[in-house]
Amino acid sequence: MSMTIKKRMFISNILMIIIPAFLAVIILAGCLFIFLASMFPHAEYRLGFQEELTETRYEVVELVREWLDKADPETEAELLELVQENRLTLQIYQGQQIIQRFGDEVLPQKQLEQSLVALDGSGTVSNGTFALFGEQLLLDGKTYQIHIYNPVVILSHDRLKLWVVGIGFFMVVVLVFIIFITNRFLIKFVFKRISDPLQTLAEGVHQIRDGNLTHRIFYSGEDEFKPVCEDFNEMAERLRISVVQLQKEEESRKELLASISHDIRSPLTSIRAYVDGLLDGIADTKEKQKAYLGIIQKKTSEIDQMVKKLFLFSKMDIGEYPYSPEILDVSKEMEDFIAASEEEYQHRGLKFQNVSIPQESFICADPTYFRSILTNLLDNSAKYKEKETVSVSITGERLAHRIMVYVDDDGPGVPEDALPKLFNVFYRNDLSRNNPNQGSGLGLAIVAKAVERMGGAVHAENLPQGGLRMVLEFPTVKGE
């Protein structure tokens, strides 16, 4: 199971305290051991204070008294253990003869013994190396002399101070070294889990910077870097989509400029030709002159209509075209529109065969936008018809909180691969754009923008029996 960076940092902080403290205690204990071993070479006994030494001496004397009185093996064993435990040397004299010795043998200390004699055999004397404690016992009319030797340790104040300073300096140096080593270990323990993902992220950033937008980071850890890497991949994908979109938009702009140039140049060329014809006297009769002027007027009108549509689309594209939504009854709006424009479309070869929209189907939309949608769809059917009269039907149905409007015609339809492109700016099924009667390719683009502004969607599909269906989808609202 992977450990998060937060947990690693917590453990690192704890170890930063525990490890140096633990090792410092161990080293300090070692230094004290070396100090005691060198300063007190004979101090294996546990007598650290004079009071304890005095008590132990008298305890030995009492055990000797008991042992001499009873000769009890248990008392002898206890006496031997006490002497050995405290690294003492016990000698028991009767007269000038040693009758028993317990503990380590020591070299004869004549000077100490003579000094003790001067004290009548009882007391303590020392020569700086050994201390001799003496005591006389009288048992059953017999006199026994007890001698207890113990080593004497003398540590001067200056020497002690020197040792303390030396140990302190040594401990500081060792502690710094321990902290350094601990730091190195913890850096490897904690920051390696940080540096590796950072390096991976840096490599990913370099890949994106160099244009490789398909580069993705694969990170298997379960720590704080996982969501960062996931966000990086999401950012890279969004950036890739944005770049692709920009490329498409750039291509669309180029196509737009090429289409505008072609669609404006064609009528301008015709206008120029007919103007030259008038100036050169080719139209030598009033009838020809009138015909030439009529053609010029028609071409001028085509340019004007294209510029108006281009202006409308541009304003809608950047969201600056006025939009004043209100509650509309789709059925009523459709009836009013057909009543106002049916005669005009009949003259253009369109026949309304069926208009059926569910009653009280309300949408929130700008009436101007809604009429613009219908106008451009019907204009599209009129422009691309291949027979004298084309039948158009407008039907609808309600689906949950949406209403579907179908505008069908029995015209030629379009190739399947052209269906997704119909709503692109300046797209025309006539790729050579040689047929001037097929418009500029702006009408359906305006329809798409208007429907999008109204919160709906539009797409085209070919009918099985032939012809084209425009499918409009609008969200419904409650009527007033």
Do the domain assignments include residue 429?
yes
Q: What is the 3-state secondary structure (H, E, C) of the chain?
A: CCCCHHHHHHHHHHHHHHHHHHHHHHHHHHHHHHHHHHHCCCCCCCCCCHHHHHHHHHHHHHHHHHHHHHCCHHHHHHHHHHHHHCCCEEEEEECCEEEEEEECCCCCCHHHHHHHHHCCCCEEEECCCEEEEEEEEEECCEEEEEEEEEECCCCCHHHHHHHHHHHHHHHHHHHHHHHHHHHHHHHHHHCHHHHHHHHHHHHHHHHHHCCCCCCCCCCCCCCCHHHHHHHHHHHHHHHHHHHHHHHHHHHHHHHHHHHHHHHHHHHHHHHHHHHHHHHCCCCCCHHHHHHHHHHHHHHHHHHHHHHHHHHHHHHHHCCCCCCCCEEEEHHHHHHHHHHHHHHHHHHCCEEEEEEECCCCCEEEECHHHHHHHHHHHHHHHHHCCCCCCEEEEEEEEEECCEEEEEEEECCCCCCHHHHHHCCCCCCCCCCCCCCHHHCCCCHHHHHHHHHHHCCCEEEEEECCCCCEEEEEEEEECCCC
For helices 443-453 and 367-383, the axis angle rounded to 10 degrees is 150
Do the domain assignments include residue 20?
yes
Residues in contact with 115: Cβ distance below 8 Å, sequence separation at least 6, in sequence order: 125, 132
Structure-token match 């009890």, residue found: 72
Do the domain assignments include residue 128?
yes
Q: Which domain holds residue 143?
A: 50-151
Among 300, 320, 340, the domain-final residue is 320
The pLDDT value recorded for residue 436 is 47
Residues in contact with 229: Cβ distance below 8 Å, sequence separation at least 6, in sequence order: 197, 200, 201, 217, 219
Give the whole-angstrom CA distance, residue 269 versus residue 290: 19
The pLDDT value recorded for residue 403 is 92
What's the chain's Rg over C-alpha atoms?
A: 57
Q: How many CB atoms lie within 10 A of CB 374?
A: 19
Q: CATH number of the domain at 224, please.
A: 1.10.287.130
pLDDT tens profile 59-97: 988 988 888 888 888 888 898 888 888 888 888 888 888
Please list the residues that pair with 393 across neighbouring strands.
354, 408
Residues 329 and 460 in one domain: yes
Residues 178 and 306 in one domain: no
The two three-digit tokens of residue 6, written as one number: 């937060």
Do the domain assignments include residue 418?
yes
Residues 326 and 469 in one domain: yes
Residues 316 and 335 in one domain: no
Residues 440 and 332 in one domain: yes
pTM of the model: 0.47
Residues 275 and 424 in one domain: no
Among 124, 151, 178, the domain-final residue is 151
User: How many structural domains is the chain composed of?
Assistant: 4
Please list the residues that pair with 69 across neighbouring strands.
none
pLDDT 10s digit of each residue in the chain, 480 long?
455 666 666 676 777 777 777 777 787 777 777 766 665 544 433 334 577 888 888 898 898 888 888 888 888 889 888 888 888 888 888 888 888 888 877 777 788 888 888 888 888 888 877 888 999 988 888 888 999 988 876 555 566 677 777 777 877 887 788 777 777 776 666 666 677 777 888 888 888 888 888 888 877 776 777 888 888 888 888 888 888 888 877 876 676 667 667 667 777 888 888 888 888 888 788 888 888 898 888 888 877 877 777 777 677 676 667 778 899 999 998 899 888 888 888 888 899 888 888 888 899 988 888 888 898 888 888 888 888 889 999 999 998 889 999 999 988 888 888 888 888 766 655 544 344 444 556 778 888 888 888 899 999 999 988 889 999 999 998 866
Residues 89 and 26 in one domain: no
pLDDT tens profile 325-380: 899 999 998 899 888 888 888 888 899 888 888 888 899 988 888 888 898 888 88
Type of residue found at 8: R
For residue 336, the Cα-to-chain-centroid distance in whole angstroms is 58
Q: What is the dihedral of CA 284, 288, 290, 291, to 10 degrees?
A: -150
The two three-digit tokens of residue 149, written as one number: 């030797």
**9: closest CA among 187, 181, 219?**
187
Contact 156, 143 (CB under 8 A): no
Contact 363, 330 (CB under 8 A): yes
Residues 164 and 263 in one domain: no
Q: CATH number of the domain at 101, please.
A: 3.30.450.20
For residue 369, the Cα-to-chain-centroid distance in whole angstroms is 45
The pLDDT value recorded for residue 178 is 77
Beta-strand relationship, 350-356 and 390-399: parallel
Structure-token match 């109204």, residue found: 454
Give the whole-angstrom CA distance, residue 477 versus residue 148: 115
Do the domain assignments include residue 420?
yes
Residues in contact with 219: Cβ distance below 8 Å, sequence separation at least 6, in sequence order: 197, 200, 225, 226, 229
Do the domain assignments include residue 199?
no
Do the domain assignments include residue 252?
yes
Give the whole-angstrom CA distance, residue 322 versus residue 306: 20
Among 293, 320, 347, the domain-final residue is 320
φ/ψ bin of 426: left (φ > 0), alpha (ψ from -120 to 50), beta (otherwise):
left
**352: closest CA among 382, 387, 384?**
382
Residues 421 and 350 in one domain: yes
Do the domain assignments include residue 196?
no
Residues 436 and 313 in one domain: no
The pLDDT value recorded for residue 26 is 80
Give the whole-angstrom CA distance, residue 119 versus residue 122: 6
**309: closest CA among 448, 436, 460, 441?**
441
Contact 463, 414 (CB under 8 A): no
The pLDDT value recorded for residue 435 is 47
Give the whole-angstrom CA distance, residue 83 versus residue 75: 12
Residues 228 and 263 in one domain: yes
Residues 261 and 397 in one domain: no
Q: CATH number of the domain at 375, please.
A: 3.30.565.10
